[in-house]
Amino acid sequence: MNKQVDFQKIGSRPVRPDGVDKVTGRALFGADFQMSDMAHGYILRSPLAHARINFIDTSAALEVKGVLAIVTGRDFPNIGAGQEAGGEGGGDMKDIAHNVMARDKVLYEGHAVAAVAATSKAAADEALSKIEVKYEALPPVMSLDLAMQPDAPLLHETMHTKGYDTQPDKPSNIAQRSLFTRGDVDAGFDQADVIVEGEFRTPTVHQGYIEPHACIANAGEDSQIVIWCSTQGHFDVRNSVAAVLATDINKIRVIPSEIGGGFGGKTTIYLEPLAALLSLRAGCPVKMTMTRNEVFRASGPASATRSVIRIGALQDGRIVAMKAWLAYEAGAFPGGPTLPGAMAVFAPYDVDNFHIEAFDVVVNKPKVAAYRAPGAPQSMYGSESLLNELAEKLGMDPIEFRLKNAVDEGTRAVYGPKFSAIGLKACLEAARRHPNYLEASRKKKEGHGFGVAVGFWFNVGLQSTATVHVNQNGSVTVTEGNPDIGGSRASMALMAAEELGIPYEDVRVVVADTDNIGISDVTGGSRVTYATGMAVIEAARKVKQDLCARAASLWNVEPEMVSWEQGCAVASPGVNTEAQPLTLAKLAASAPKTGGPIGEKASLNARGAGPSFSVNMAEVEVDKETGAVKVLKFTAIQDAGKAIHPSYVEGQMQGGAVQGIGWALNEEYIWDEQGVMLNPGFLDYRIPVASDLPMIDTQIVEVPNPGHPFGVRGVGETPIVAPLPAVCSAVKPPAKSSTAATTPSPIPHIM
């Protein structure tokens, strides 16, 4: 990490550069784009959760006046399995393509079966009503318990479970098994003085982004396709659309709009290939926008889960064994977040004996997508809840108990590598000193509960590209390839300003499309401030090196005799007594005489992303007659490494807390027995609003990440992990004094 301690710009709280456009309405989001000759695209969706498609007839629909094109599954090329999809959710491109448009079967209510481009919504509606589809209904598989039974109806007749030494002979709804194990877990439990065990379930929930999916595709006569869309990763959109349409990526340009929320849900594709193919067929641009109903029925929610977890400890509080059985709903196609869930479940704790087994299971629900630390909230809900119960049975303070077992620098994580510098213990110490914790430990009140939990996310680096160009007046333009969701333009500007020693206001940040910047991976995984920031810093350092060389040429000295200090080129003492410091503006003005335009690029695959830990505390009031829960206080403490813009770090912490509270208390998809969703709208799918919540108290901890020049570690995903166990532990009655383990429901037979 950079040895600099007294940052000049980093850690300040300037106004975000895109703020004025967004609050005045000038910013263009996905559905705001218009083209003069565009058609409108609409989708016919399946009313059944599980059925074979025996017949589709679009002939009558094509006769409707104003209808320009209709596509069904037969209009898409066949894609073989084995091509990995990009984005945070991942998966196989064949499955992504079949999720975009059904082929032989529909696998959830809302699955697209046909798409229409028409000159008006009325014409499209009439055409959709005239498309004839004959279905053969099949039994819907709507739960993990049913899906994992040996005789369950199969969604994919040729799918066999991966992850065993020997592939099972019989097809199954279980797509993948993941396993992490170390030591002798049975011997550990034999050694334990106290054992707790429990079963935990989480429902299907949605990310709840305000802006629906939207795009325009314009295919030219040369088959070049330009797509404007709301996305977290336009390079992944380009790659995925090219794969689904079996065309070259150099024929596709993707321009990201401003984005009205994503939280992982906009890291994949739904409308974009349909709009592109309709545009190719119709000969004009095609715009498509999901309704809120469609967003719920046909985009990717988070996995529902079932977990069975067991933890054993000695009387002195030392954990000696941990075991987890985790099952995740993948939705209609494989790709649930089983692996990160398994990696996270016991990640905060140093334990010699553990066994973690996780299953990815298909059901007749929409294919899941990433949702902020995908997989971790569900698995750590169970483990952190049990740790509170175990601490209570041992008579230990829940934070002291965690401190006794917390991982630290040098500890080997349950998923393999050793931790570098991490902030878990610092967060726990901050929580122990926090006024909300001290107050909760003093007061006991009927109907009130208090819960504490740790959150974790490992963070990623991945590929990023950035350019730094100096304008003629000494101002700077930074160009990068990540859509700005949480204030990343401001963060990039702060890092560039810090490195160059110039005012924040002199830096302008541009998010470029796929034709105007090098490859940049998705805005997700808590990677952008870390990885793209690293690219900005590297490009800025190259610019400084060039500036020093130019100053040296003006002074007729060697470049190594010039340094960059406080935004100026400065000659070493005694080298040239007439060499006065040259500002960036002066060097920019002389650029035509010293080599031309000043600008540099950095492309990298960032390594060393520092894991992030948090501690959350919740105080609740429960109405024992109605069961209504009111959150009275909520405290979020998290290690940011180094907070580039503290206000945006706090915003991430508060936003994640709100989403986690909603997940804990009232958010869930509701289906009937036939797999029809009953609450596809914000009126019945109840996300928390301001009146439901207290002020979210935040405290930023800074344990610098040695893998980043400024000490940054990602902060966007960890905040959603701990609220579930913190709130649920606050609601749960005190544990019984018995040290016997609870008995969960039987685990399904797998092999």
Residues acting as catalytic residues: 717
Q: Rounded to whole angstroms, how far apart are CA atoms 101 and 333?
A: 13
DSSP per residue over 1-40, as a string? Answer: -----S-SSTT--PPPTTHHHHHHT-S-BGGG---TT-EE
If we measure between CA atoms, which residue out of 370, 336, 412 comes closest to residue 178? 336
Q: Say if CB 176 and CB 722 are below 8 A apart.
A: no
- The CA–CA distances, whole Å, from 212 to 29, 265, 486, 716, 724 equal 10, 10, 18, 21, 26
SS3 state of residue 520: coil
Q: How far apart are CA 227 and CA 214, in angstroms?
A: 10
* Beta-strand pair 67-72/112-118: antiparallel
User: Which 3-state string (H, E, C) describes 587-625?
Assistant: HHHCHHHHCCCEEEEEEEEECCCCCEEEEEEEEEEECCC
235: left (phi over 0), alpha (psi -120 to 50) or beta: alpha
What DSSP state is assigned to residue 532? I
Cβ atoms of residues 46 and 253 within 8 Å: no
Please give the backbone phi and psi of residue 486, each rounded to the nearest 5 degrees, phi first.
Answer: -115, 20
- How far is the CA of 120 from the CAs of 68, 117, 279, 286, in angstroms? 10, 9, 15, 11
Of 187, 101, 221, 110, which is closest to residue 676 (Cα–Cα)? Answer: 110
Q: What is the DSSP letter of 418?
A: B
Sign of the CA dihedral running 179, 180, 186, 189: negative
- Residues with Cβ within 8 Å of 444's Cβ and at least 6 positions away in sequence, in order, are none
Write out the two tokens for 471.
């304008």
Residue identified by tokens 């290690």 is 639
Q: Which residues touch 467 (CB under 8 Å, ≥6 apart)?
A: 478, 479, 480, 517, 539, 599, 600, 601, 602
**Distance from C-alpha of 90 to C-alpha of 175, rounded to nearest angstrom:** 14
Tokens of 593: 């005489």
CA-CA distance, 67 to 40, in Å (whole number)?
10
Length of the chain: 751
Helix/strand/coil (H, E, C) string of 228-258?
A: EECCCCHHHHHHHHHHHHCCCHHHEEEEECE
Separation of alpha carbons 424 and 701, rounded Å: 9
Helix pair 533-555, 488-500: axis angle to 10 deg? 30
Radius of gyration (C-alpha) of the chain in whole angstroms: 27
In this structure, what token pair is assigned to residue 147?
């899906």
Look up residue 15 and give its two tokens. Answer: 């106004």
Q: Using the CB atoms, write b or e for 188-210: b if 16+ within 10 Å.
A: bbeebebbbbbbbbbbbbbbbbe
Name the one residue in this structure whose structure tokens are 């060697």: 558
Q: Rounded to an integer, what distance in angstroms lies between the CA atom of residue 247 and that of residue 433?
A: 58
Q: CA–CA separation, 388 vs 217, rounded Å? A: 52
Could you report how far apart the first and last alpha carbons of the chain are, in Å?
49
